[in-house]
Amino acid sequence: MAPQFLTRTAVAGIAAVTLLASAACGSGFDDSSGDTPQSSGPANLQILIGSSGDAETKAVQEAAAKWASSSGNQATVTPAQDLTQQLGQALAGGTPPDVFYVDAARFADYASVGALEPYGDKISNPDDFHESLRTTFTYDGKLYCAPKDFSTLALQINTDLWARAGLTDADVPTTWDQLTATAQKIKAKGLVPLALGDTRDRIGAFMVQSGGWLMSKDGKQATADTPENVAALQYVKKMLTDGLARYPKQLDAGWSGEAFGKGKAVMTIEGNWIKGALQNDFPNVKYKVVELPAGPKGKGTLSFTQCWGVAAKSKHKEQAIRFVEAMTSGEQQMSFAKAFGVMPSRQSVRDQYTSTFPADKPFIDGAAYAQGPVNAPKMDSVLSDLEAGLQGLAAGDPKAVLANFDKNAKAALGGN
């Protein structure tokens, strides 16, 4: 699950949304999904995935083959070179795969034009999925698709540098005030306290901890310009201007995990994908993971997830839903967790997961208070503009950045 959350493929995303928008005008996306003739016999399901690597591809292909042999169907799993672009083209062309990964950041675009079959109520025990994940894949009051797995943000601490700064377990920050105090101690030792990504996918966690967020829960109203969000960005700005936090580019790194791996910062805020990245690129770094410090309104983190989308135009919806059922069983999700490091989306296997991967407990604990991504269509350019504002936050005006988002988002939402 790692790579797709480290960067944004904005150009491909805009292209896909443009394709979908044009398709919605003339290819039947606005028609009821029941109009597609259904095949009741054995199906050869086409499944398109955005794989994080060979381990994920192999695991999904093996799981699909097992399901096919037991169900009398066939299932062909294809890893996409560029999932957003390939899926957008397939949906626009009217020949989509039956089942495909849908990233949370793209979900509303697909749901809003009728490209997805809303099958969430046909999956066994949908309430077993973490509530924050169900909310992420709900559009116009319907749970559209089953969450595949998820990640959250937590705080990583380089234990060698921590000791060099003279810190102990008593210095592990659990509040904003403690984070500031600990960072000041680290800075006094000549070290960089915190490497922080310069995007909403990292800084947004402070908004949640402050009791705010960019959008209303139903995704229909922009809610950025609030005292809670202003307080969050003012806190981050002060960390930056006081030299207590630095963006990756200031540390000659492509992302925070790289800066952390190179020992250029004592702490960073990343998701559980950092585990594989450090194992591969910086295997000698010793670190521990703790939950993010709480803000004025309590704990808060961000969740990153995908769902198993079923095409509204699939001729094999019943078989596709049965396939998703198998892929999201607790047993299968634990197999995926062991194979390529994702966290199960079902709460019923949470204890099994944490006993198997005890070091990842802070990540999965975050599911209880995690905020999903902006859940509204046509927001690519709005979010890109926000990113530019956040990148210039150290010299910028937090309130102006947030007010600009609300203005742009309102215009985008008004065009729905």
14: domain CATH number is: 3.40.190.10
pLDDT at residue 415, as a whole number: 53
Structure tokens, 335: 């197999």
- Interhelix angle 10-26/83-92, rounded to 10 degrees, is 10
- Asked if residue 120 and residue 10 are part of one domain, the reply reads yes
- Asked if residue 145 and residue 159 are part of one domain, the reply reads no
Cα separation values, 185 from 104, 120, 152, 247, 293, Å: 38, 49, 27, 19, 17
CA distance 150 to 168: 31
Beta carbons within 10 angstroms of residue 249's beta carbon = 12
CB distance 382 to 408 below 8 Å:
yes
Structure tokens, 25: 């005008």
Cα separation values, 145 from 118, 134, 296, 300, 365, Å: 6, 8, 34, 25, 23
CA distance 314 to 219: 27
State the DSSP H helix or E strand holding residue 165, giving kind and residue range, or none if neither. none
- The set of long-range contacts for 189-192, using a CB threshold of 8 Å and a minimum separation of 24, is 189/164, 189/165, 191/161, 191/164, 191/165, 191/265, 191/266, 192/243, 192/246, 192/251, 192/264, 192/265, 192/266
- Asked if residue 44 and residue 31 are part of one domain, the reply reads yes
- Asked if residue 319 and residue 247 are part of one domain, the reply reads no
Residues β-bridged to residue 158: 287
pLDDT at residue 369, as a whole number: 96
- Asked if residue 262 and residue 390 are part of one domain, the reply reads yes
Q: Residue 170 belongs to what domain range?
A: 152-302+377-414
**Domains contained in the chain, number:** 2
What parts of the chain have a pLDDT lower than 70? 1-35, 415-416
- Asked if residue 122 and residue 25 are part of one domain, the reply reads yes
Residues β-bridged to residue 245: 194
- Asked if residue 123 and residue 239 are part of one domain, the reply reads no
pLDDT at residue 14, as a whole number: 39
pLDDT at residue 15, as a whole number: 42
